[in-house]
Structure 1
Amino acid sequence: MKRLMKYLVRFLSVTIPLGLGVLSIILFAGMKSLPSAKETSPRVTQVRVITLAPIPVVPRVFGYGSVSPTKEWRAVARVEGEILWASDNLENGLLAKAGEELVKIDPSGIELTLAQIDAQISAIDARDETVRINLETAEAELEISRADLARQRDLAARGTVPQTAVDQAVRQELASRTNINSLKNQLILNEAERKVLVAQRNIAVRDLGFTIIKAPFAMRIGEVSAQTGQFVNRGQVLFAAEGIEAVEIAAQFPIGRMSALMRGSQQTGTDGPTGLEAIVRLQSPVRTIKWAARVDRVGDLIDPRTQSINVVVVVDQPMQQARAGQKPPLRRNMFVEVELRAAERPALAVPANVIHGETVFVVNSDNKLEKRKLKIAYTIDGVAVIADGLSKGDRLVVSDLDIAMPGKTVKPVEDKTLKAQLAAEALGQETGK
């Protein structure tokens, strides 16, 4: 009996721990079964999307060109003489106001010519007075000659005087008439000579005005080649200058990108002959400087080498817009960027970098990827305007997908930041070039 109890105790001491161990293994295996079920479920990829809707788009295109003044002037001497005086502002780079006197040429030679002409006109006036007095006398003599001729003819008819007396009276009457005609012709010749002198005097008066050279408009002085005391000849260039009231930029624009403007502009606009707004930019190491401009004219020729068209824009009053240390005045030969903008209009637009070839991915109503083929109207910087292939309400995938499989289930997340950035870029508020 004791031996049986001994065997039973040994059996229980082995089987009970063994049973507890098996039970622990079973329970542990049951606890690990739930996580394994999660690992076998399909993983859903999260993608960023933007829900499409028409947004305001400003069609625009960028070109480049050099600044030049709208007005250029060369001061040419129209009379010869010594330069008596030159303005202190007649120095390279200085400014002159419209109407400001800049150079005075010695007028003494012209003044002497005027005095001589005036003296000649006075002499003609004196001769005219003498001729008129003589004419009055000659007309009186003619009346006497005519009366004498009539009397001689009457006496000859009565036989009182011979025919020779009548002939003598006729010759006297003819001489009186000839004298009168000569005096009248003298008055006519004097008048013709007076007109010649008056014309010469007018030329001299005009030349006298040319001795003072004034600025025809507000200008910046360029190269100066005349100094006080220098003798100048007619036709000699004294100095060069350029206007400061406006500058122009003849910018070159790729003809292929002008279609965006043509679709968004009107030919009868008020901002210029093409209804376009223009902005001029100068890139500096610290900032981008801008000027408002207007379209002045569009070239009618296309550059065969670059396939570009020439558009001239004008910036008014660049000097008045200048601010020391912040905004310099536009000067000749500055290389600038010109942006042309058409009128704002609504359009369906997407970021250009999400387009792969001619396709994009959208998330359909079942949250699955769907491939779409697009037709792009035009591209402005990083914004592509869609002509066909997408509609309002489509959820466009903007994430970079490692493996994009149509039909794959995804989790769309609206990218509000990118959507706001797209709206700003479509309006041209961020250039990002």
Structure 2
Amino acid sequence: MNPPRRRRALWLLPPVLFGVAILALSVARKPAPAPAAEGEPVRAVRTLVVEPMTLVPRVRGYGSVQPAQVWTAVSQVAGRVVTMHPQLRDGEILLAGTELLRIDPVDYELNLAQAQASLAELDVQQANTEASLEIEKRNVALAERELARIGSLAKKGTASRSDSDSAERALLAGRAAVQNLENALALLPTQRKVQQTRVAQAERDLQNTVVHAPFDLRVAGLAVEAEQYVGKGQTLFRGDAVDSVEIVAQVNLGEMRKLFIGQEQMDLDPAALVARLPEVTGLQAQVNLDMGGHVATWDARFVRFSDQIDSKTRTLGVVVAVDRPLEKVRPGERPPLSKGMLVEVGLTGRAQPQRILVPRHALHAGQVYLVDDGRLALRHVELLYNLDG
């Protein structure tokens, strides 16, 4: 090294040494960390502060949309279909009271006229019988007087025995005629009821030649055409009610219990239990349809539970209903709830206060770690349910 460069290096050395001295001094003055207790490991952990909060229990199930009421149109009379409503086709909606089809009524009109004529004939028969009875009663009265007169003459010896016998026979014949007429009159009320029944049946058959919609319905399963002969008892079509739809959602039994945790004992009549269940437990329902990037929702109401548990899946059918679904259609946002549509049913119970919510990964065999004065301690906890099922 030449002399100038050596003098430059020596000139830089004092500042470097001065910096090292300052660093050493600061390190020497920094307080040493507290030594860990002998044998106690030190670990870096993530902690989460949790506070009691109000939770709303939720469960979900899946099911298909079905009409709440299905009417099967069955022909109650036999005959030829003479008229059909122009909109009587599968999928069409027809209002309550609409005439759907008519069966040829001629034969039933004739039956009604015949039954009415038979009933009117009884009125004439009753009038004639009553008149005949009055005449026979007068004949009996005359026969009684004649028999008395002949008896008086016989005592005087002016009437023969044969005259007395003839008068007595006439009296007995008259009394027999009166008895027969009275019996005929006694049978007339029964005969009248029979004929009135026949008239009523004929009127009913005539009314049944016309089929009306019992409620607002959507036509399904049409199985008849105009001019076709239909027999009594033949299925013509079905009508699905459009004022309400139902979904039977299959819900896991273990999930159902979370809706009723913390509920008070319910002393209800079994017949009223289902009807009052939403009121007592705060049970609410919602129907969701995944439309791919958009979820359509409908408010629903709890209706009932199904009559049995699925032995394979251990699920219980929960029936919910959506009223007036057609009025809730929003183009592009909420389609009509159609029969067979697979939907999700969400059920929520009454809000439960003072619940602690922790992440699933914080649980270790029913225990959680708590931080106490910089140390970890295991504590046993009671798991009520998983919020996400």
Partners of 2:20 and 2:158 lie apart in 1 by: 184
Partners of 1:21 and 1:285 lie apart in 2 by: 72
Matched with 1:372 is 378
Residue by residue over 1:310-368, the C-alpha shift from the partner in whole angstroms, topping out at 9 and shown as x without a partner, is 2211222212211222111212221111111110121333242441434444444x4x2
CA shift, 1:70, in A, is: 1.5
The answer as to whether partners of 1:283 and 1:336 remain within 8 angstroms in 2 is: yes
The 5-angstrom pairing of residues 380-395 of structure 1 reads 380-381=387-388
Matched with 2:37 is none
Matched with 2:139 is 141
The answer as to whether partners of 2:281 and 2:349 remain within 8 angstroms in 1 is: no
Change (3 A) 1:265 1:296: farther
Partners of 2:162 and 2:368 lie apart in 1 by: 131
**Which blocks of at least 5 consecutive residues in structure 2 are unaligned?**
35-41, 267-272
Change (3 A) 1:278 1:185: same
Matched with 1:289 is 296
Alignment RMSD, CA only? Answer: 3.1
The 5-angstrom pairing of residues 213-362 of structure 1 reads 213-265=211-263, 267=266, 269=276, 271=278, 275-299=282-306, 301-358=308-365, 359-362=367-370
Partners of 2:29 and 2:232 lie apart in 1 by: 102
Partners of 2:23 and 2:119 lie apart in 1 by: 132
Give the aligned length: 367
Q: How high is the TM-score relative to the length of structure 1?
A: 0.76
Work out the percentage of aligned pairs sharing the same amino acid: 33
Which residue identity does 2:24 align to in structure 1?
A: S
Matched with 1:83 is 81
Change (3 A) 1:240 1:17: closer
Residue by residue over 1:24-83, the C-alpha shift from the partner in whole angstroms, topping out at 9 and shown as x without a partner, is 453232133267569997699997654322211111211111221111111111011121
Matched with 1:417 is none
CA shift, 1:85, in A, is: 1.4
User: Mean Cα displacement is larger for which, 295-304 or 19-28?
Assistant: 19-28
Q: How high is the TM-score relative to the length of structure 2?
A: 0.84
Partners of 2:194 and 2:9 lie apart in 1 by: 147
CA shift, 1:94, in A, is: 0.8
User: Out of 152, 155, 158, which is 2:156 matched to?
Assistant: 158
Change (3 A) 1:216 1:34: farther
Matched with 2:175 is 177
**Which blocks of at least 5 consecutive residues in structure 1 are unaligned?**
1-12, 383-433
Partners of 2:7 and 2:100 lie apart in 1 by: 124
Matched with 1:122 is 120
The answer as to whether partners of 1:265 and 1:275 remain within 8 angstroms in 2 is: no
Which residue identity does 2:215 align to in structure 1?
A: F
CA shift, 1:270, in A, is: 5.8
The answer as to whether partners of 1:72 and 1:243 remain within 8 angstroms in 2 is: yes
Partners of 1:168 and 1:133 lie apart in 2 by: 26
User: Mean Cα displacement is larger for which, 320-329 or 256-265?
Assistant: 256-265
Which residue identity does 1:318 align to in structure 2?
A: P
Larger gyration radius, structure 1 or structure 2: 1
Local SS of the residue matching 1:68: strand
CA shift, 1:137, in A, is: 1.6
CA shift, 1:110, in A, is: 0.6
Which residue identity does 1:323 align to in structure 2?
A: R
Change (3 A) 1:139 1:131: same
User: Mean Cα displacement is larger for which, 204-213 or 42-51?
Assistant: 42-51
Partners of 2:216 and 2:289 lie apart in 1 by: 24
Partners of 2:154 and 2:384 lie apart in 1 by: 118
Partners of 1:75 and 1:27 lie apart in 2 by: 107
